[in-house]
Structure 1
Amino acid sequence: MDLKQLQYFVSVIEHMNFSKAAEKLHISQPSLSNAIKKLEHEIGSPLLERNTRNLHLTEAGQLLYERAIVVLKNIEILKLEIDEVVVHGTSEITIGVMDSIKYWLPKVIAEYKNRYPKMVFHLVDILGSELVINSLKSYKTHLVITNQLIDEADLEVKCLYEERLVAVLPLNHPLVEKDKLTIADISKEPFIISKEGFQTRQNILNAFEKDGMDINIQFEIERLETAVSLVRENLGISILPEKYLQGPTAKTIVLKEIDSAYLRRNVYLVYMKNRHLPLAIHQLFDEIELFLSEKTS
């Protein structure tokens, strides 16, 4: 048997109709029927039970279908990997990112570009565990940096660091005078929070729930930069990842630690276990881990 026969067979099963499968494959129905009969002859067993209305898989057909899907998927992946090595070489890296790593990732890339000056970076926003998984398995990204803990057998997940979620206040807010805040201190304040679907939102709501406190949500946002801008204008307070608030941003607002064991999160680097990744991309992994270890040591 060859790959074309497997493709024909899988198409017949997916459509459970020879004429529709033939149309999809752009071949005649008699040619498709002959190809399946030839495959059955080579295997020495019927693959399909045919009647005037329906097709049904035999036991041998079910086994072949399950294995054929895996073979064809692996061939598709191999073509993508060969294309990456032969056509593109190691000239491009696509990284799935989240808003809160904007402070440290550019610093890593700047250092990395000294070694690989011609490398082109594609940085794409990837939010939510399902999107992380899909982007990696469809080869749309080489790696993703996320605060979602992904549990998938095909994916390698490395914890890069743990960070605090801290209160963000306007410069003239009364709570600025306190050394450390509690959930009770901020429960009645107008609150700025990420919209549904963001992991950080769930962390914050969980912390309030554990303390038995309500939260006074006045603004829902998608980007952390928007939250900081609203805080600056005295429109409310927020809780944001500490690393995001480093650099110039920290001078325009006030950060306060909150006394809560639940306001912490992990940030992970995720990539496909069995995907061929060029040496240059593995070098980027090392650069990220080195940079973060130096900043936390």
Structure 2
Amino acid sequence: MDFRQMRYFVAVVNEKNFSKAAEKLHLSQPSLSNAIMKLENEIGFPLLERNTRSLRLTDSGEVIYKRSVEFLKQYDRLQKEMEEIQEIGNGKLSIGMIESSKHWMPKVILQFKRSYPSVQIQLSEVLGGEEVQKSLLDYETHVVITNQPIVHQDVNTIPIYQERLVLLLHEKNPLGEKKIISMKDLENEAFIISTIGFQTRRDILNAFEKERAEPNIMYESERFETVCSLVEEGLGVTIIPENYIRYSNFSAIRTRQIDSDELQRTVYLTYSKSRYLPPFVHSFCKEIRGFFHTS
């Protein structure tokens, strides 16, 4: 079983169809079918059960498929590392980030580019602990900024700063006149919150529970920008990280602190321990840690 056959076999299983797999591999369907049949003849047992409607792995095929997927992953990672070893001061830096980090990230990149002007920057939103872990271990990103501590033997999780979660309300909301606002005060307000699966949502609901208050959830959104727009139209109130709103320009929105020790979080810098990281990645991590140490 050679490397080419392995890729062909995995593509057929992933697509569950010879025609689609052949198109993806830029092969003719007969050529791909013959390659898989030749592979089965070489190893001495069938890998696929074929019928007119679908393909299904045999028990032996299941084992070969899992091993092939892992081998191809390791090979692709090795290819990336070999390319990056040759890149001194050049290459591409892939950064995953939570939405609230987008306002300070350009300042860090500006400092970084003074030392590495030729490095390309790729930015993407990476949300949720599982997505962060997958992104790092599959070599999709070099580093990820996240508000979730990643517990994995191959991931470094470094706290870089703490921030409060603050109340946002429309400038005409009478609640803004109160000197001290509690979670109980929010029970009668239309509440806007992140959708299920977001750590910020869990933090906020945990704060309500600790204060024995019940939120009146009327709107849910994946993005802070949408949440803020709803508040600016006077449709409700919300709680979001202070670093997001600190650099935003919503003229009709006011921020207030809430009397709750639960409304704070830690933001982390994460990267893979087992992956080779070019010098410019380590320099970028140093820039991030320095930015929050001095600012």
TM class, shorter-length: 0.7 to 0.9
State the distance in 1 between where 2:83 and 2:174 align.
59
**Residue 212 (structure 1) aligned with residue 212 (structure 2):** yes
Pairwise CA distance, 1:200? 0.3
Pairwise CA distance, 1:265? 1.1
State the distance in 2 between where 1:116 and 1:258 align.
42
Change (3 A) 1:27 1:121: closer
State the distance in 2 between where 1:231 and 1:131 align.
29
Q: How does 1:1-297 map to 2 (within 5 A)?
A: 74-86=74-86, 90-249=90-249, 252-295=252-295
- The equivalent of 1:46 in structure 2 is none
Structure 2 unaligned runs (5+)?
11-30, 44-57
Pairwise CA distance, 1:5? 11
- Contact 1:90–1:278 (CA under 8 A) maintained in structure 2: no
Normalization by structure 2: what TM-score? 0.76
State the distance in 1 between where 2:120 and 2:172 align.
43
Pairwise CA distance, 1:180? 2.9
Structure 1 unaligned runs (5+)?
11-25, 41-54
Change (3 A) 1:27 1:261: same
State the distance in 2 between where 1:99 and 1:35 align.
47
Number of aligned residue pairs: give it: 284
Alignment partner of 1:277: what SS?
Answer: coil
Give the alignment's Cα RMSD to 1 decimal.
Answer: 4.1
Q: Which amino acid aligns with 1:157?
A: T
Pairwise CA distance, 1:137? 1.4
State the distance in 2 between where 1:219 and 1:107 align.
32
- Contact 2:84–2:91 (CA under 8 A) maintained in structure 1: no
Pairwise CA distance, 1:108? 0.8
Q: Deviations over 1:179-200 (max 9, x none)?
A: 3311011121111111111110
Change (3 A) 1:74 1:258: same
Change (3 A) 1:267 1:27: same
State the distance in 1 between where 2:97 and 2:39 align.
46
Pairwise CA distance, 1:139? 0.9
Pairwise CA distance, 1:56? 8.9
Pairwise CA distance, 1:66? 10
Q: Deviations over 1:29-74 (max 9, x none)?
A: 9x999999x9x9xxxxxxxxxxxxxx999xxxx9xx9999877754
Change (3 A) 1:56 1:139: closer
State the distance in 1 between where 2:67 and 2:159 align.
34
State the distance in 2 between where 1:32 and 1:169 align.
62
Normalization by structure 1: what TM-score? 0.76
Alignment partner of 1:102: what SS?
Answer: helix
- Contact 1:157–1:271 (CA under 8 A) maintained in structure 2: yes
* Larger Rg over CA atoms: 1
- The equivalent of 1:15 in structure 2 is none
State the distance in 1 between where 2:146 and 2:66 align.
33
Q: Deviations over 1:86-139 (max 9, x none)?
A: 479732111111111122111111121122222211111111111111111111
Alignment partner of 1:269: what SS?
Answer: strand
Change (3 A) 1:172 1:81: same
State the distance in 1 between where 2:127 and 2:68 align.
33
Pairwise CA distance, 1:171? 1.6
- The equivalent of 2:22 in structure 1 is none
Change (3 A) 1:69 1:117: closer
Change (3 A) 1:179 1:56: closer
State the distance in 2 between where 1:177 and 1:144 align.
39
Alignment partner of 1:249: what SS?
Answer: coil
Alignment partner of 2:249: what SS?
Answer: helix
State the distance in 2 between where 1:175 and 1:187 align.
12
State the distance in 1 between where 2:103 and 2:33 align.
58
